[in-house]
Amino acid sequence: MEITEWSIRPYHPTERQEKTFYSIAKEAFAYGSPWSPAQFQETLAREELFFYVAERHKEIIGYIGGQVLPDDGEIYTIVVGKKYQKQGIAEHLLRAFKEECTRQGAASIFLEVRLSNKEAQAFYLKNGFEEIGIRKNYYRFPKEDALLMRCSLRKKEKDV
């Protein structure tokens, strides 16, 4: 049995934690938060999106969010506060996201990651994603290409 000091749960838009989400991203991402507090407020209120949070003593320490389209899921953001990284939290967040995508009938999950972010790429590869393409000039601050990655959620017919 794994004992942790943190837990994963669905996030509810009524919680109004956009400032918390922003401050975690601002500290954890190399180029600061990709979204402003107002963009987090707008994004977290969108009904078609879903988020999971990691909490420690009722404090949000990480999150993942995105949506499921008719056949595929897409991760828009995943981040864990700097002092809580390397503890398996991101893997648990990703697992919760995958389970929700599977529940909603998604066949795959897609995401983009900076070409320079080799640590994140290694994390995604370790967790079932594969590299499938490049999106030119996807990131703006600073300008950089994105690596497009996909994780298949369904076994191939011959494996069943």
Q: Residues 38-88: pLDDT tens digits?
A: 999 999 999 999 999 999 999 999 999 999 998 999 999 999 999 999 999
In 3-state terms, what secondary structure has residue 135?
A: strand
Cα separation, 7 vs 93, in Å, equals: 9
Q: What is the pTM of this model?
A: 0.89
Residues acting as catalytic residues: 112, 124
The average pLDDT across 8-26 equals 94
SS (H, E, C) 34-66: CCCHHHHHHHHHCCCEEEEEEEECCEEEEEEEE
Look up the CATH number of domain 7-159.
3.40.630.30
pLDDT at 158 over 80: no
- All structural domains of the chain with their residue ranges: 7-159
Cα separation, 149 vs 111, in Å, equals: 5
pLDDT at 10 over 70: yes
Burial label, 37 (beta-carbon count in 10 A; 0-12, 13-18, 19+): middle
Cis peptide leading into residue 142 (ω within 30°)? yes
